Chain A
Amino acid sequence: MKVRFWGVRGSIPVPGRTTNRYGGNTSCVEVRPDRGDPIIIDAGTGIRKLGKSLMEEAFGEGKGRVSILISHTHWDHVQGLPFFSPLYRPGNQIQIFARQRDMHLEAVFSQQHHGAYFPIPLSDLHADMQFHEVIEGARFEIGEAKITCARLNHPWVAIAYRVDVDRAAVVYCADTAPFDDLLLGRDFIEKPHLGTLPPPVRDELAQMRAGVVALAKGADLLIYDTQFTPEEYKVRPHWGHSRPDDAIEIAREAKVKQLCLFHHAPLRSDDDNDRILQLARDTAGTLPVISAYEGLEVQL
């Protein structure tokens, strides 16, 4: 399979000269099995250009099929979807997978297309769209690919996906905080109080962490949310993002073959990202580390 990055940024798109090399689009990764239909993970603004590229293939004739795995529905992971050209061509079949919410997923995505925010309602999109609700622990197949899911530590809950196909595995772990300081869920945390965690919370976090390590076990590529530097994490542990060192720890424990830093902070310049990558490589030792940039392709 081939993995290609179309959007690598967290929080909000950041156009400008300081982001030319890594790219300013929000999260979107394409997974291409050797045979069969593409799988897309997350629908940040990067999905716009991916959609244009897909229109050059069967999607332009209304004969395309694609599955989109959504880690969670925060804006930076869904805001490109209304600009995904294959949705506007009758005949295309688009399966959207995302974590179960209180509301049905189709209702969640309909809100993004509400007339107050976007001119074209979800119901007017011409492609055949189907919504699939998944929860952590779910296993399903997309063509020859096997998909597994684990829960992440993020406000309102995000999930990580593992895609196994062509005798290789890629794991997408965004967005998540580390698993030692705070349990993030439905509550809004204005000012975090760090201290000793009550045992049930500590156990839940430990279980979540074990789930992520198990999901990543032996993967060829682990894509991991490393939005924060250690200094930034100290101020914002409740935002639900990790540091490169957290990713390295998980990668080592899971014995992954390669770690990819991902979900770069919006105001991080290309030079900053270069430095963060170098630091991570210094720490990681023999574990190969790369940093995601728009256009990066990894053959697994």
Chain B
Amino acid sequence: MKIRFWGVRGSIPAPGPETNRYGGNTSCVSVETSSGLVIIDMGTGLMHLGNALLAREFGKGQGRATILLSHTHWDHIQGLGFFAPVFIAGNQFTVWGPGGSPEVLEEILEGQMDPNFSPLQTLRNFSASFDVKAATDAFAVGGVTVRAKEHPHGQTTALAFRIEDAGKTFVYASDVGYVDGFDDLIELYRGADVLLHDTTYRPADQVTRRDRGFSSYEEACEAAIAAQVKRLVTFHYDQDYTDDDVDEIVAACEARLAPHGIAVTPAREGDELTVA
């Protein structure tokens, strides 16, 4: 699997020189699997992924991709209206997301395109096929197995995804604020080659914002240790954190995880990580 980061920021895009190195776009990750392209979350990073895809079969209306959606907060869907491949007939997208039923999820995505807010007016104005499905506990994308599990996220929940492809495992666990610890989730994370985990906050900043439903980097590290993963990817940095703040988060994770033999890769816009 080849993982690439297009948006790594939480809550709202954060432009400015202070976010140049890690990037200011909201959540979007692409995963090239043996069964094609999988996209996770549709933050503003999705626009840039879409523009890059135009150079491939997606530019000719022959592209197919699976989109996994953790939840529908703005920072995870706001790139959709700017995703160029959906405006090219012939492309096919299947979205798996929360909501329990495809109708509910589609209605939520439709709400983003409401004429009050978007000139598109409705998802039906996409030219590509855009099939919305409710994620179940486990489903297959070609030969790739995906497992989805709800985790707490403030007043609501979000989905974590475990992707297994040819014996390698990538777990995406963003926007999680553990309430009673992470024991329920460990089984989903267990032994992953790569665990991408919410590291929105420094512990001191999380204390005053616990109701927002995000993790501190300490919790991410403890989860990585408990699940005996091989590598932790830091992700979903607070919009107010500068690159130097994120450097501090990454260094702290490295210090905590090195004794356990767990590597750390910071999610940075444009970076690629191969799991092989």
Chain A CB within 8 A of B85 CB: no
Chain B CB within 8 A of A239 CB: yes
Chain B CB within 8 A of A17 CB: yes
**How many chain B residues touch A (Cβ–Cβ < 8 Å)?**
44
Residues of B within 8 A of A19 (CB): 15
Chain A CB within 8 A of B19 CB: yes
CB pair A119 B212 closer than 8 Å: yes
The chain A residue sitting closest to B21, CB to CB, is: A17
Q: In the complex, identify which listed stretch (A8-16, A205-213, A251-259) lies at the interface while the others stay far away.
A: A8-16
CB pair B115 A186 closer than 8 Å: yes
CB pair B125 A188 closer than 8 Å: yes
Residues of A within 8 A of B81 (CB): 75
With A15-B13, A116-B72, A117-B111 as contacts: A78 and B213 at CB distance below 8 Å? no
The residue among B44, B120, B122 with the most chain A CB atoms within 10 A of its own CB is: B44
CA distance A118 to B155 in the complex (A): 10
Residues of A within 8 A of B119 (CB): 74, 155-156, 188, 239-240
Which of these, A75, A83, A240, contacts B117 with CB under 8 Å? A75
Which of these, A24, A79, A119, contacts B24 with CB under 8 Å? A24
CB pair B156 A115 closer than 8 Å: yes
CB pair A48 B12 closer than 8 Å: yes
CB pair B213 A266 closer than 8 Å: no
CB pair B117 A78 closer than 8 Å: yes
- Of the A-B pairs whose beta carbons lie under 8 Å apart in the complex, a sample of 19, sorted by A's number, is A13-B24, A15-B15, A15-B19, A15-B23, A15-B24, A16-B15, A24-B13, A73-B117, A75-B117, A108-B116, A111-B116, A114-B111, A117-B73, A117-B74, A117-B112, A118-B74, A119-B154, A186-B115, A188-B119
| Partner-B contacts on A (CB < 8 A) | 11-17, 19-20, 23-25, 45, 48, 73-75, 78-80, 82-83, 101, 103, 108, 111-112, 114-119, 155-156, 186, 188, 190, 239-240, 266-267
